[in-house]
Structure formats: C-alpha cells, structure tokens
Structure 1
Amino acid sequence: MFDGYVGHILGGAVLTLKTAFGSMLIATVLGLLGALARLSPRWIFNKPASLYSTVVRGIPDLVLMLLVFYGGQQLANDLLARLGYQGQFDFDQFTAGVLTLGFIYGAYLVETFRGAILGVPKGQWEAGYAYGMSASRTFLRIVLPQMIRLAIPSYTNNWLVLTKATALVSVIGLQDMMLRAKEAGGATREPFTYLLVVGAVYLAITSVSLGLLKLAERRYSVGVRHGEL
C-alpha cells in the first residue's frame, strides 16, 4: 500500500525532531535572556527586548522563515563583500530552519519566562539578599527553580506549537517528513494517505512530549500545596 515510502517519511521524522530540539534550545536561551532584559530597570536592555517580543510575535512564521533564508544570505554576502571577502556564504536549510524557529519562539518564551519570574513572590528575592547572596546567585538558586514550575504549562504549549511549526521548513527545501510526504504523495498520486502518516507521527511526538512535560511539572510541584503560588 505504501510502496516503501513510510520508511522514507520516518527518516524525515528524525530530521524534524532535530529541528524541533535545536530550535527550542535557541528559543529557551533567547526567551530567558529576553525576559531578564525586559525586567531590567535599564532602558538599554528592556526596550530592545520589548521590541523583539512585540515585532516577532506580530509577523507570520512563514514570512520570517523566507526572510531569514533568502534575505539573511543576501545580507551576509553583502556584508562580507564590503569587508573584502570574495566568497559566497550560503545558509543550509537546516541551519536556516533552526535559527528562524528558535528566533520566533524565543519571542513567545520571553513573555512566558517574564510572567513566571513575576509570579515568584518578591519576598524570595529579599530572602536571598538577606543571606548575602548576589542578584545572580539569588536568581539561580532561589528564583529559577520556582520560576520553572510556573513556566512549565506555557512552555509545554510553546513546545507543542513549535514542533508542529517545523512543517514550515519544507518550504525552504529541507528534507523533513513533510517534504518527503509531499514527494511520496506526488509519486503515488495518493497525497492524502501520506499526509495522514505525517499527521499520525506529529500526534505521536506531541503526545509523548506532553506526557514527559507533565511528569516534569509534577516533579517541580513536589511539596507545593494545590493553588499555592
């Protein structure tokens, strides 16, 4: 029935997972740094972070994907030419996809982490200072563990959305399972069949992810009374 194309599509699923994990890693770093910048009293930090969060969330993912893949290459080559470099710099599809998705969802995680940090009582910061801790140590040892518990529900939602958004990388030619399903559907003239396979794989990935992140939420909620912030 599937003419051997299912294995081909599942091979693309591995690349899809690599794209999702790489993107989420970048997004997490950008989100955390952006959240701290937004909470900074210094405008030189909070204004750019606020602009990043607002602008990126207002532009469609597909538009940003194409801008980074095509516009980013041209911008990099123009810059290199001005510096006297004669070669050509090319973004490969995987790098472009990971960087773009990480950049996009970093903007969403800025708000996720900012809200979680604000959800930690101010008294926790004051307790750290009272023990002689610096601001960075207070954040890492006292605030961060509590912030993670508060951030996990929204973080889970962003991860699920990002995982599904990896299908967008097919438009720049990355051989993920979406592009492979299109190729299989075109070759067999049964596109609906292979799109169902892709949908089932995405559902399996998101279901497993949801279960694992729920376990993480329970782990960070140990010792916390229900309804307590």
Structure 2
Amino acid sequence: MSEYLTYLSFGNGGWAKPILSGALLTIELAVATLPFGLAAGLLLASGMLSQKAWLRRFCVAYGTVFRALPELLTIFIIYYGSQMAIKAACDFLGWQTPQINGFMAGLIALGVVFAAFSCEIFYTALRTIPQGQYEASYALGLSPKTRYFRVTLPQVWRIALPGLGNVWLVLLKDTSLVSVIALSDLMRQTYVAVNSTKEPFFFYALACAVYLIFSSISGLILSWLERRANRYYARG
C-alpha cells in the first residue's frame, strides 16, 4: 500500500505531477475544442437549411464523411496532412518548415468531428422551431440579426442542449486519442507511468477515476444549464 502512495506523491518516484499535468492538458484541449466545434456545427446546420443547393450538399457531405470516419483516422489525417501541406507551401516559398503544434492539430481534428455530430443536433433544433415564431418576429419588425440572436438562437440552444451534452461527453473521452501524436495528455502520461513502474492496473484505474470525475462534473454543469435554459419554459 505504501508503494502505491509513493506513486501518488509529488516527490521523487511519484507520478502525481505528470498525471495532474496530463489531466489539465486533457481538459484544456476539450474546453478549447468546444467553442470551435459549436460554432462550426451551427454554421453547418444553417448551411443545411440554405436555399443554395451546392451549400446544402457540401454541409450534408461534410457531416456524413466525418461522422463515418473513426476519430483516430481523422486525427492522423489532420496531423500528417497539415504537415505535408505546410511543408509543401514552405518549400514553394523558400521558407523554413515550422514545427507542427500537436495541441492545435488535436484541437482541429476533434473540432472537425464535434462539428460533424453537433450540426445534426442543431439542424434538428432549427427545424423544430415553429414557423409562427419567425412570422411573429418578422411582423414585429425585428432586424434579421435581432431575430436570430433573440428569437432563434435561444430556442435552438434549449432544444439542442441535451444532445450537445452527450457529444461533449464523447469529446471528453476522445481527447485520449491525441496521445498517438505524442501530446502529453492524461492517457499519454498514464502510459509512460505504466511502462516505468510496471503497474498497469493501478495507473489505468487512476486514469479511469479522473475521467469519471470529469464526466461527473460535466453532468452537473449540463444539468444546471438545462434547468437555466428551461426556466421560462412551461410544459403542457
């Protein structure tokens, strides 16, 4: 038992500091990905309702492709594909090729996947809003910007929130995949600790506990957001 307590210490032979830094990087990556994925998903959902056929086809194809691809494959495509594209551009311009930032590559890859799933949720939410809401806001003389931010978006948020909460929890777990591009997240640090100590059950159980804590806190926050979003909504 004392040996396990040593593993959890911050001193020599302890793995508390690397595990903690990996956990912080995991939550940082997930939180940084969230606004990018939400904004892209909402734009894609709006595009799916566009009167322009080419835009509708593009948005539908985007969602279909990136929902079908494994998240790990998407990370590889973004990480190595961006390396090749940047190297080709730098070679063409005669510049020195910069080092690819693994955090940004992971953020973009996870954001691309999050947007693909969230766009379907936003699309359904947009179609759920009664046509009378748009007609009433138009009759009141509201500008398109005001109609969108004061009438459409609050209702979309309330309807889409439960589905977005599920996608967020999936995103939180998918952050573990960025360890394959040598990003020192929670799973990467856990893997290093296991190789060093030969204690796989202990450290993987510890990582499991950390993910459960993240998910539990997320569940509490999502519950609060749902109550707040529905505070003026009277159920029939």
Q: CA deviation at 1:44?
A: 3.4
1:177 is matched with: 186
Output the CA distance in 1 between the equivalents of 2:148 and 2:54. 21
Output the CA distance in 2 between the equivalents of 1:213 and 1:34. 23
- Tell me, yes or no, if structure 1 residue 123 matches structure 2 residue 132: yes
Equivalent AA in structure 1 for residue 156 of structure 2:
M
Output the CA distance in 2 between the equivalents of 1:200 and 1:150. 31
1:223 is matched with: 232
Output the CA distance in 1 between the equivalents of 2:230 and 2:123. 19
Contact 1:125 1:139 in 2 (8 A): no
Q: CA deviation at 1:123?
A: 0.8
Output the CA distance in 2 between the equivalents of 1:57 and 1:143. 26
Q: CA deviation at 1:122?
A: 1.1
Q: TM-score, normalised by structure 2?
A: 0.92
Secondary structure of the corresponding residue to residue 213 of structure 1: helix
Equivalent AA in structure 2 for residue 218 of structure 1:
R
1:47 is matched with: 57
- Tell me, yes or no, if structure 1 residue 144 matches structure 2 residue 159: no
2:25 is matched with: 15
Output the CA distance in 1 between the equivalents of 2:75 and 2:229. 35
Q: CA deviation at 1:7?
A: 2.9
Output the CA distance in 1 between the equivalents of 2:146 and 2:94. 44
Secondary structure of the corresponding residue to residue 114 of structure 2: helix
Q: CA deviation at 1:48?
A: 1.3
Equivalent AA in structure 1 for residue 226 of structure 2:
E
Secondary structure of the corresponding residue to residue 219 of structure 2: helix
2:15 is matched with: 5
Cα root mean square deviation, aligned:
1.3
Q: CA deviation at 1:40?
A: 0.8
What does residue range 25-174 of structure 1 map to in structure 2 within 5 Å? 25-82=35-92, 84-174=93-183
Q: CA deviation at 1:16?
A: 0.5
- Give identity over the alignment, percent: 35
Question: After TM superposition, where is structure 1 displaced by more than 6 Å over at least 4 residues in a row?
Answer: none
> How many residues matched?
226
Output the CA distance in 2 between the equivalents of 1:43 and 1:136. 24
What do residues 80-106 of structure 1 show as CA deviations (whole Å, max 9, x unaligned)? 333x23310332111111111011111
Output the CA distance in 2 between the equivalents of 1:59 and 1:43. 24
Secondary structure of the corresponding residue to residue 225 of structure 1: coil
What does residue range 191-210 of structure 1 map to in structure 2 within 5 Å? 191-210=200-219
Deviates more, 1:171-180 or 1:4-13: 4-13
What do residues 12-67 of structure 1 show as CA deviations (whole Å, max 9, x unaligned)? 11100110011111101100111111111112322211111111111100011011
Secondary structure of the corresponding residue to residue 30 of structure 1: helix
Secondary structure of the corresponding residue to residue 98 of structure 2: coil
Structure 2 CA distance for partners of 1:45 and 1:134, relative to 1, 3 Å: farther
Equivalent AA in structure 2 for residue 20 of structure 1:
A
Equivalent AA in structure 2 for residue 75 of structure 1:
A
